[in-house]
Structure 1
Amino acid sequence: MIRPEKLQKGDHIGIVAPAGPIDIEKLKAAVPFLEQLGLRVVLGKYVQKTNGYLAGTDQERLDDLHDMFANPSIKAIFCARGGYGTGRIASKLDYELIKNNPKIFWGYSDITYLHTSIRQKTGLVTFHGPMATSDIAKDDFDELTASRFNQLFDPEAFTYTEQISPLHVISPGKAEGELVGGNLSLIVSTLGTPFEMDTKGKIVLIEDIGEEPYKVDGMLNQLEVSGKLADAAGFVVGDFANAAPTLDSSLTLTEVLNEYFHALNKPVLSGFKIGHCFPHVAVPLGVKASLSSNKKTLEVDPGVVKELEEIL
């Protein structure tokens, strides 16, 4: 495990768009929040590019990522949005460059593919958190969501409790393991690739948006038959936004989750405000975590280190 160095006031941070094209006005609206944190924002060279449903060509999006990791003055890399496209560039990333230049990498949704590939290829801890144009720029971007950026400046362990949101026990138990995961559809899309998510002994976070119960059923079935559910130590079920069924006859999302998780004999808790929602509680991926159904808590180690020498 490689934890990046913490941020300090005055640090330069880069914004890139490794997936879908951005709305530049929304990006402009998000920048003041980052500046209020004391950060100096540097935009990727190709961040405003559009190539259909992609933010520029594969090479342009790769170049921005590589440039940000290679630039010693850039201390963190924030993704502007998700959408689609990171799976197209994962096999072309320079993982040796990333490993030799560890720094904060932050995003979610389609960025899940890069969280997985970077962690499994380099050991770098990354951050599942709200993004510039898709979250920070929104009117309902709230204080709790904003407060989770503080972990990048003042690293300390974090405990998610029911003081944040009601949590529901799908399967009882307690487990410790590395926290991994993210967007469910992206996790499934890694299966059969060199970046297939390793869930063995891990606490797996899942969340998604716009996926009806039958589609969630299909994805969980794929994880089940591939052994990923059995391998995991436990599951953190985040937000599933816009998941209401449109079929005349349908199982509910709760029924689907219960069917796959209830008899796993490992802790599975739902109700976490992590994902396409507000508040959106950002968490590091690749760190030690503890999940307890008895206490209804998720305890997570810090994702950054206080000083650079702790990395070396």
Structure 2
Amino acid sequence: MKSKPKPLKPGDTIGIIAPGGPSTRDELERGVQVLQNMGFHVTLGESVFHKRGYLAGEDHIRLKDIHQMFQNKGVQGIICMRGGDGSGRLLDRIDYDVIAKNPKVFVGYSDITALHIAFLQEAKLVTFHGPMVTSDMITEGFNEYTREAFLKAISWEKPLGKLKNPEEDTMKTIVEGRAYGEIVGGNLALVTSTMGTPFELDTRGKLLFLEDIHEGVYRIDRMLNQLRLAGKLQEAAGIILGEFLDYEPENPEDSLTLEEVISDLVVPLNKPAIMGWKCGHGNYKLTIPLGVKGELNATDRQISIVETATQ
């Protein structure tokens, strides 16, 4: 049985943790102010003040923050400070009973994909693929579209219904058809990193969502092919490709296009598939509940959430 968090409301306390990479004190303070301006109280984990190379401190500090924030009865929701690297290091050390017994709104993306997968599969917790404190909330990417999508997702007590791109951004049909299932996935590189581990993403009968940034076409090719060889693309009911950014090769004449890779690896599966959903690293960002049922209408380029994410 799924574990769903309570919806957040103004006056609730949000805990900020850094399971992955670090940020500066100035960035953190500005992000805290944004959350406070939205009506939330904020409490900070120890990890947000640490830096060890590309990590927000030692593994045990980041791990302790996860446990303490979920156990803290005075905290109603948890938002990750940023992504970066390092969340995957914690997967085999997390006490998933703590997560399951204390369901809370948990928000992040990119490197946080590792935690989304583990929380859903090990603790049955519905989580939210959405904006983070220093990588989004203090940038131009936290525009009205992104902000409203975020607040609706974490506070709505009904199914979110159709999740639409901004009017000027249309999605592209890859393979026509309809598919229905739980939405799972996130960052392509992080999903791929779970292959062969106890936390390998289960895509059977699911709507598989993938996005990424700073990965060349040949790397996207390699990762999609790994998922194909592992049966993950074939087992999915449908495939939703979000934004893929900053992938353009320096020498286009020596590369395939992203569209050619998708044509080679996704189209032959004959699964309903769509591309261009505004979720991921772009300036316009939907907040998506992971682990709840959705409907993909690839023919009409529509995606709907048909199950409540909170309770």
Please report the TM-score for the alignment, with normalisation by the length of structure 2.
Answer: 0.95
Which contiguous aligned blocks of 4+ residues in structure 1 show a shift greater than 6 angstroms? Answer: none
Structure-2 residue corresponding to 1:62: 63
Instruction: Work out whether 1:199 is the aligned partner of 2:200.
Output: no
Instruction: Work out whether 1:291 is the aligned partner of 2:293.
Output: no
Contact 2:145 2:166 in 1 (8 A): no
- Give the drift of 1:162: 5.4
Structure-2 residue corresponding to 1:71: 72
Give runs of aligned pairs for residues 160-199 of structure 1, distance below 5 A. Answer: 160-161=163-164, 164=167, 165-199=169-203
Contact 2:140 2:283 in 1 (8 A): no
- Give the drift of 1:15: 0.2
Superimposed CA distance per residue, residues 121-180 of structure 1 (whole angstroms, 9 cap, x where no aligned partner): 011000000111111111342100000122222333231235542111111110000000
Structure-2 residue corresponding to 1:210: 214
Q: 1:158 aligns with which of 157, 161, 183?
A: 161
Contact 2:208 2:239 in 1 (8 A): yes
Within 1, Cα distance between the matches of 2:34 and 2:143? 12
Unaligned runs of 5+ in 1: 306-312
Instruction: Work out whether 1:304 is the aligned partner of 2:297.
Output: no
Instruction: Work out whether 1:10 is the aligned partner of 2:35.
Output: no
- Aligned partner letter, 1:299: S
Within 1, Cα distance between the matches of 2:164 and 2:65? 37
Within 1, Cα distance between the matches of 2:136 and 2:105? 18
Q: Sort the Cα spacing of 1:155 and 1:231 in 2 relative to 1 into closer, same or farther, 3 A.
A: same
Contact 1:177 1:202 in 2 (8 A): yes
Instruction: Work out whether 1:39 is the aligned partner of 2:40.
Output: yes
SS of residue in 2 equivalent to 1:180: strand
Contact 1:158 1:302 in 2 (8 A): no
Contact 2:165 2:278 in 1 (8 A): no
Query: Larger deviation: 215-224 or 292-301?
Result: 292-301
Query: Larger deviation: 209-218 or 243-252?
Result: 243-252
Query: Larger deviation: 218-227 or 140-149?
Result: 140-149
Q: Sort the Cα spacing of 1:162 and 1:93 in 2 relative to 1 into closer, same or farther, 3 A.
A: closer
Within 2, Cα distance between the matches of 1:268 and 1:4? 30
Superimposed CA distance per residue, residues 55-99 of structure 1 (whole angstroms, 9 cap, x where no aligned partner): 010000001111100001100010000010011011000100110
- Aligned partner letter, 1:114: L
Within 2, Cα distance between the matches of 1:208 and 1:241? 7
Within 2, Cα distance between the matches of 1:163 and 1:238? 14
- Aligned partner letter, 1:68: M
| % identical aligned pairs | 44
Within 2, Cα distance between the matches of 1:168 and 1:155? 30
Within 2, Cα distance between the matches of 1:33 and 1:163? 23
Contact 2:188 2:210 in 1 (8 A): yes
Give the CA RMSD over aligned residues.
Answer: 1.2
- Give the drift of 1:267: 0.8
Contact 1:49 1:56 in 2 (8 A): yes
Within 2, Cα distance between the matches of 1:190 and 1:47? 25
Contact 1:162 1:297 in 2 (8 A): no
Structure-1 residue corresponding to 2:29: 28
Unaligned runs of 5+ in 2: none
Within 1, Cα distance between the matches of 2:140 and 2:164? 26
Give runs of aligned pairs for residues 107-146 of structure 1, distance below 5 A. Answer: 107-146=108-147
Contact 1:161 1:296 in 2 (8 A): no
Within 1, Cα distance between the matches of 2:25 and 2:282? 22
Contact 1:171 1:263 in 2 (8 A): no
SS of residue in 2 equivalent to 1:41: strand
- Aligned partner letter, 1:292: N
